[in-house]
Amino acid sequence: MVTEEEIEQVAKLMKIDVHDHKEYVEKVHDMINYFDILDSAGVEDEEFTMKDLPLSSLRKDKHIPFEDKLIEKLNNYKGSYVRAPKMV
Amino acid sequence: MNLKISGLEYIEEVKNGNISAEDFVSATIDRIKNIDEKLHAFLQVNSKAVEQARDIDKKIKSGKKVGSCFGMPISIKDNICIKHSKTTCASKMLEKFIAPYDATVITKLKEQDAVFVGKANLDEFAMGLTTEFSAYGPSRNPWNTDYVPGGSSGGSAVSVSAFECVASLGSDTGGSVRNPASFCSAVGYKPTYGLISRYGLVSYANSIEQIGPVTRTVKDAAFLLNILSGLDPNDNTTIDGGGQDYLSEIDSGIEGKKIGIIQEMMSEGIDPAVLAATNDAVSKLEGLGAVCENVSIDMVKYSVASYYTITATEAGSNLARYDNLRYGYDFPVEGFEFNSYISKARSKFGPEVIRRMILGGFVPSSGHAGKYFLKSLKVKSKLTNEVNEAFKKYDFLIAPTVPILPFKIGEKIDDPIALFLVDINTVMSNLTGIPSISVPYALSNGLPIGIQLLAKHNHDKSLLKVARALETTVRLPEVPI
């Protein structure tokens, strides 16, 4: 059984402020409890495959000219650097 | 000016010189001005639409080559990028975001001289199925404005149904084109995964979502698929549809085709009126020469849980970019520590987006991934096997698009599990990648009911044929607005 504390911990790691406990934590708790239905699906022995994507199908890694200077669309930049809040 | 015509009828009228693109688009914009205050289908209206239509008229008059849309007014869900115009995803987070490039579908429609009349409302980041989670307020169902129009492409379906445009583009992750089309009595079509490029669609759950048209007729959907489908170097999940003409032979009928009626989508919780309409649709298809039988797809019961687990996981990853450093809004960095700055910036997300982000962090996390995420992938795999098995016996599958009738605005918004279950009939085609279409079929107490048809992977052409066959059996009244 998932606890509300576990949900709050994940929200914190995801940098999400869950100030409204009922709206976020309780409802997410209900949603996760609903997912318990998966336990009765009987798929433990089922294999699943991911679609392979060969390198040849990928777009070439080359510069595509772009008419606008994207950095100038930002509000917080200095020269060619994006300004971010202090980490330490 | 009669706005109540299909896309193909519009093209014929303009080609024959009976109407001009400018007059039609101008009348469309007037209608939006007159009725959209009630319906709220649009988040923005294109102020240059009439001018653009006038330019297309000039091309026609001067004998220059004109694209196949001839100025057809189309609305675009506001999670699809149109260069130099706002793309908000109905979120406060992207309130001022101006797209720096065109989505591939937009490039293709521009090449064919479509006119974009505006950006259509949606649930924030396409997360929802009622359009009530739009940060700018809900859209309203034109059949009864106290009711939800479905979602997440609610604005798209409302705008088509209420004659505020001829067609629209939406996106369908778990039914987001078909559900509102069903609730608003429009055609909603989710193509085979990869048939239409997703480049320029703001990502929610990349592995299963598709752009799809909302139209007035099945033929219009086929017409748009001809324009929109094809390989795109900017989206390496696109597939080659073989250059088919989806419109040709669309009236060739369904004599001898076998159709499976999905029992798990016709049982628990289904509204009696929806059940009766589906049974009636089955009888009509039999009358056209199809052979219909019951089929069981056991994994349908688990598909909603699998769907929400997978989409939340992908959404949690996709939405990580909204940290105000990569995407976000004007909010100064001074005075904040790194983590608290991002938390504060993310407070602009609405409640449903926040819930799904938390879910998306939780279900694939260490200690929980085996119980939720990996099990969901296994359900997806088993469901795909069961559907492939069913298609060994049947050409098509049928079920109601949504098992219940449209409900009142606010009725289910506080009950996420009740909302989950509204998706039960639509998520299967997203999880398995197969094409499906919702065809307007009936009304109950003045509220629309849509019937969903599904076909094998990359059998979109035959799906459009059976949908067209069903459509020919139906005569519905006009929307009362």
What tens digit of pLDDT does each residue of B106-134 get?
A: 999 999 999 999 999 999 999 999 999 99
What tens digit of pLDDT does each residue of B272-285 get?
A: 999 999 999 999 99
Instruction: Scan residues 236-265 of B and list those with Cβ closer than 8 Å to A.
Output: 236
Cα B107 to the center of its chain, rounded Å: 19
Q: What is the H or E stretch that residue B440 is in?
A: strand B436-444
Cα B383 to the center of its chain, rounded Å: 22
β-bridge partners, B120: B42, B77
pTM for the full model? 0.96
What tens digit of pLDDT does each residue of B385-400 get?
A: 999 999 999 999 999 9
Choose, out of A16, A19, A37, A83, the residue to mutate when testing the contact with B (most B CBs < 10 Å).
A16
Q: Which two tokens stand for residue B123?
A: 């649930």
Instruction: Scan residues 68-87 of A and list those with Cβ closer than 8 Å to B.
Output: 68, 70, 73, 75-76, 82-87
Q: Give the distance from residue A88's alpha carbon to the nearest chain B alpha carbon, in angstroms.
A: 8
Q: State the pLDDT at residue A88.
A: 64
What tens digit of pLDDT does each residue of B416-435 get?
A: 888 888 999 999 999 999 99
> What is the spatial distance between Cα B234 and Cα B240, in angstroms, rounded to a whole number?
14
Contact B316, A10 (CB under 8 A): no
What tens digit of pLDDT does each residue of B201-233 get?
A: 999 999 999 999 999 999 999 999 999 999 999
Domains and CATH numbers, chain B: 7-253+437-471 (3.90.1300.10)
Choose, out of B318, B358, B380, B382, the residue to mutate when testing the contact with A (most A CBs < 10 Å).
B358
A13 contacts on B by Cβ (under 8 Å):
361
Q: Calculate the average pLDDT of chain B.
A: 96
Give the number of other Cβ atoms within 10 Å of residue A72's Cβ.
7
Instruction: From B455, B447, B473, select the one nearest B150 (Cα to Cα).
Output: B447
Residues 6+ apart with CB under 8 A from B224: B7, B167, B169, B213, B215
Give SS3 for B17.
coil
**Between B441 and A67, the higher pLDDT residue:** B441
Q: Which two tokens stand for residue B378?
A: 């296994």
* Amino acid, single-letter form, for residue B431: L
Distances B444 to B39, B143, B146, B238, B447 between C-alpha atoms, Å: 21, 11, 15, 39, 5
Q: Calculate the average pLDDT of chain A.
A: 85
Which ranges in B62-199 belong to alpha helices (H)?
Answer: 104-111, 154-161, 178-184
Q: Do B382 and A43 touch (CB under 8 A)?
A: yes
> What is the spatial distance between Cα A10 and Cα B155, in angstroms, rounded to a whole number?
33
Q: Give the distance from residue B207's alpha carbon to the nearest chain A alpha carbon, in angstroms.
A: 10
> What is the spatial distance between Cα B352 and Cα B78, in angstroms, rounded to a whole number?
18
Q: Give the distance from residue A79's alpha carbon to the nearest chain B alpha carbon, in angstroms.
A: 16
Q: State the pLDDT at residue B335.
A: 85
Q: State the pLDDT at residue A1.
A: 73
A45-49, B212-216, B265-269: range with highest mean pLDDT: B212-216
